[in-house]
Amino acid sequence: MHKRLSIFILIIFALTLSACSSKDHSIEAEEKKIEPTEQVNKESESDKVEEKEVIIDAPTPPEDTQSLLVYQPGLFAGTFYDDNEAAIEEELAKLPPLKEEDGEEEVKKYWSKLLSLFAEQYPDPKAVVEDWKKGDFGNPDISDPRYEFKENYNVEIILDASGSMAEVIDGKSMMDWAKESIQNFSSNLPKEAKVALRVYGHKGTGSDSDKQLSCSSSELLYEMQTFDEAKLNDALNRFQPSGWTPISESLIQAKEDFANFSGDKNTNIIYLVSDGVETCDGDPIKAAKELAESSVTPILNVIGFNVDGNGQNELKKIAEAADGTYSTVRNVEQLQAEFDRSEEMASKWLNWKVNAESQNIDTVLEREGTIFDYKNEFAEKSSLEIRNLDNAVLFLYKNDQISTEQRNIFKTLRSARYDLTNNAENELYNDLLKLAHESYKEIEKEINEKYKQEN
């Protein structure tokens, strides 16, 4: 009896354990069923967050010649893809992959972003006319009194000595290249001409603690005088790239540098060389306008030395405020070429001053030569831009960021971009050829009406 009772108790105990175990497994199974659902929800929420973050924001692509000329150059403008491949592809890899179902509208937004990275700075046709003025310096047909022959010829160079000028190009710092160009330029001026050198941002460092010191450092190191090699070299050796960028203060001080050289008897030329924008909270556009409206009436030439797209736009506004000229240079050859233009003007001034006979130059043929150069520059920029865009699209395709169908849409957009730049090139070329045969009054009126640029 006791034996049977024991067996019965053991059976009951075993059944209880089995039921508990089965219940535990059931709970565990339920938990396992819930976990994937929760994981899906989490992933779904994550996807939603990611989708919100994926915003491709870029300016509207140009649709005509006018908008092409004012479109801001891209981060990689002027750069060959192969020469900067790592940086470019790092930037491209940040772009979110398009979804398989994304069609033409989404691809167009993506294309706008690509264009904002690789768009070139196309040359301004108004700059060609400004070059004609310099080439025809002294021509009575020019209505701008700044370009008339006058008793004296004075040039001041305002040089950026901020810390960024220490960047190395072709084995030398930008500062060393600039100093070399200034030496060459000054030594080639007629001995009757005068030259001055003002430097800014050469004190302190780029740190916040030195901002006040650096922003107040704008100094006339070589006063307006005829060229003296030893004195100029001594001035050039007294500074190195150092601090901040007080452009506004330097333009204000430049007006004082020319206090004894009024524009009615002096041709006054200023070269502002900078690799960046104002960083000292000044207003260089206002300062440039006030300088232009003063009795100095200078010809202000702003040179952006290896400057980025935003910098180009800001420096260009400074030049425009003074009715001056702006140019971007990437190397020492281009920088020297800008200075050489003033040397040519100075030579013409000297010929006039000593009553030498003017050279018998066919003005129209000279202008046509500059127009051809303009057309070539435009074509080179278009070619570089298209090559870079092609390489970028290929990378995105190989990196699985776009599909084959989407790549084909990119190819169509690329062809449209090429057609736009090519048509703009021919339009501007033909317009300039027509202008080459007109007087300056007609030229200025027509080109300002057609290519007035609103930034």
CATH number of the domain that residue 245 is part of:
3.40.50.410
pTM, two decimals, is 0.55
Instruction: Round to whole Å and give the CA distance between 363 and 74.
Output: 36
Do 328 and 253 lie in one domain? The reply is yes
Q: Could you tell me if 301 and 194 lie in one domain?
A: yes
Please give the Cα distance from 200 to 190 (Å, whole number): 27
- State the amino acid at position 247 in one-letter form: I
* End position of a domain, from candidates 313, 339, 360: 360
Domain that includes residue 431, residue range: 50-143+362-455
From the list 357, 350, 352, 345, the residue with the least C-alpha distance to 192 is 350
Domain assignment present for 30: no
Of 252, 230, 141, 158, nearest in space to 201 by CA: 158
Give yes or no: residues 166 and 120 share one domain. Answer: no
Strands 172-173, 168-169: pairing is antiparallel
Looking at residue 150, its pLDDT comes to 81
- Does residue 111 share a domain with residue 99? yes
Say if CB 140 and CB 235 are below 8 A apart. no
Residue from 250, 254, 326, 325 nearest 294 by CA: 254
Residue 417 and residue 429 share a domain: yes
Distance CA 294, CA 275 (A): 26
Examine the domain organization and report whether 428 and 313 are in the same domain. Answer: no
Same domain, 248 and 315: yes
Tokens of 65: 């010649």
| Region at 323 (left for phi over 0; alpha for psi -120 to 50; beta for the rest) | left
| % of the chain exceeding 70 in pLDDT | 77
Q: Which of 331, 360, 389 is the last residue of a domain?
A: 360
Q: Are 93 and 118 in a shared domain?
A: yes
The span from the CA of 312 to the CA of 328, in Å, is 7
Spell out the residues 6+ positions from residue 88 whose beta carbon is closer than 8 angstroms to its own: 76, 79, 81, 117, 388, 392
What average pLDDT does range 145-151 have in this prediction? Answer: 76
Taking the C-alpha atoms of residue 112 and residue 69, their distance in angstroms, rounded to an integer, is: 16
Same domain for 330 and 448?
Answer: no
Residue 356 shares a structural domain with residue 380: no
Q: Which of 360, 387, 421 is the last residue of a domain?
A: 360
Same domain, 324 and 454: no
- pLDDT, tens digit (0-9, with 9 covering 90-100), for 273-310: 999 899 999 999 999 999 999 999 998 999 999 888 88
Does 187 share its domain with 332? yes
Tokens 């570089």 found at: 384
Residue type, 95: L
Q: Which SS3 state, helix, strand or coil, does residue 172 take?
A: strand
Question: Is 61 or 372 the better-scoring residue by pLDDT?
Answer: 61
Query: How many domains would you assign to the chain?
Result: 2
What is the tens place of the pLDDT at every residue in 410-438?
A: 999 999 999 999 999 999 988 888 887 66
